[in-house]
């Protein structure tokens, strides 16, 4: 066992009973399960700043007081994160009504500005969260324009498509109203949702405050929750222009996937742009 991990465990009073055992889902960080005399924990090893941002996000989600279950951070430091292990064996009932209720509760936690008090990361990509008083400005200047520029500079995004994205970003004030910024998970794809005996749980956040549809659009990007989820979340009053909002808020994660994984995502980026343009 790594000496730094041993010291961190000792500092918080955790007595290991075995060596860490690798888990699936460690494409970015090294993720292991460790049995201790105090119970099972999850251990992540990665860039120290990314893990500090994740720990900060988990703490913010726990403090929000929603009914979503958030694993407790037990220790973080020197490139290691130790947190509570969750029971999500796959035999648990998918309670999408509870997931919708819990996410609505989370999004009811409102801040004063869009953004966050620190930058963090979405996957391997640094995520700038400098605050903005207007959500349209934040989406344009912190998300769409910088990500489109980064993809273009790496030869992954043709100039004409970059220009279309910048026109979409520049025209947000024409159709998208500003809203009070909600606390959001920030990277809520289906793999970051677990169903446990304590209820729906979320992991691996990239938190900030912004439009709540950011989380909904991410949930529908790679798979989709069922109708019961949306009925529970919206309580029968979803926005009339949801398809356009969905496409808009899928652009940033699609551009991030293009940046990280290459040209296979270019078509999806273009389709999302076309949906926003069509209104």
What does the alpha-carbon distance between residue 23 and residue 41 come to, in Å, rounded to a whole number?
A: 12
Catalytic residue among 95, 119, 134, 187: 187
CB neighbour list of residue 67: distance below 8 Å, 6 or more residues apart: 98, 101, 102, 105, 199
List the chain pLDDT tens, one digit each, 279 residues. 899 999 999 999 999 999 999 987 656 779 999 999 999 999 999 999 999 999 999 999 999 999 999 999 999 999 999 999 998 765 556 899 999 999 999 999 999 999 999 999 999 999 999 999 999 999 999 999 999 999 999 999 999 999 999 999 999 999 999 999 999 999 999 999 999 988 999 999 999 999 999 999 999 998 889 899 999 999 878 899 999 999 999 999 999 999 999 999 999 999 999 999 998
pLDDT, position 27? 60
**Cβ-contact 191, 23 below 8 angstroms:** no
Tell me if residue 36 falls in helix, strand or coil: strand
List the domain boundaries for the chain: 3-84, 96-278
CB neighbour list of residue 90: distance below 8 Å, 6 or more residues apart: none
CB neighbour list of residue 213: distance below 8 Å, 6 or more residues apart: 239, 242, 245, 246, 249
Does the annotation mark 119 as catalytic?
no
- What CATH number has the domain spanning 96-278? 3.90.1200.10
Place of tokens 């980064």: 150
CATH homologous superfamily for the domain 3-84: Phosphorylase Kinase; domain 1 (3.30.200.20)
pLDDT, position 28? 73
pLDDT, position 187? 97
The phi, psi pair for 114, rounded to 5°, reads -75, 140
pLDDT, position 93? 67
Rounded to the nearest 10 degrees, the angle between the axes of helix 227-234 and helix 96-107 is 30
- Beta strand 193-196 pairing with 73-77: unpaired
CA 262 to chain CA centroid, Å, is 20
pLDDT, position 88? 79
């Amino acid at each position: 066992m790594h000496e730094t991990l041993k010291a961190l465990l000792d500092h918080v009073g955790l007595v290991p009973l075995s060596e860490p055992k690798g888990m699936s889902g460690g494409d970015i960080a090294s993720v292991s399960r460790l049995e201790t005399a105090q119970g099972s924990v999850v251990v992540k090893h990665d860039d120290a700043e990314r893990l500090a941002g994740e720990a900060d996000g988990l703490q913010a989600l726990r403090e929000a007081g929603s009914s979503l279950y958030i694993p407790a951070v037990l220790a973080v430091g020197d490139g290691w994160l130790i947190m509570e292990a969750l029971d999500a064996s796959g035999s648990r009932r998918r309670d999408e009504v509870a997931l919708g209720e819990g996410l609505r509760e989370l999004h009811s936690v409102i801040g004063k500005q869009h953004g966050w008090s620190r930058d963090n990361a979405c996957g391997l990509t640094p995520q700038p969260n400098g605050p903005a008083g207007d959500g349209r400005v934040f989406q344009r200047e912190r998300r769409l324009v910088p990500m489109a520029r980064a993809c273009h500079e790496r030869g992954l995004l043709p100039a004409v498509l970059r220009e279309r994205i910048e026109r979409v970003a520049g025209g947000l004030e024409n159709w998208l109203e500003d809203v009070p910024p909600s606390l959001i998970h920030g990277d809520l794809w289906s793999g970051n949702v677990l169903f446990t005996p304590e209820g729906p749980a979320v992991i691996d956040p990239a938190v900030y405050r912004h439009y709540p549809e950011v989380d909904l659009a991410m949930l529908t990007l790679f798979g989709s929750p069922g109708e019961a989820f949306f009925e529970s979340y919206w309580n029968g009053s979803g926005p009339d222009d949801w398809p356009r909002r969905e496409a808009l808020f899928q652009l940033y994660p699609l551009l991030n996937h293009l940046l990280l994984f290459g040209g296979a995502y270019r078509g999806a980026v273009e389709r999302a742009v076309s949906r926003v343009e069509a209104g």
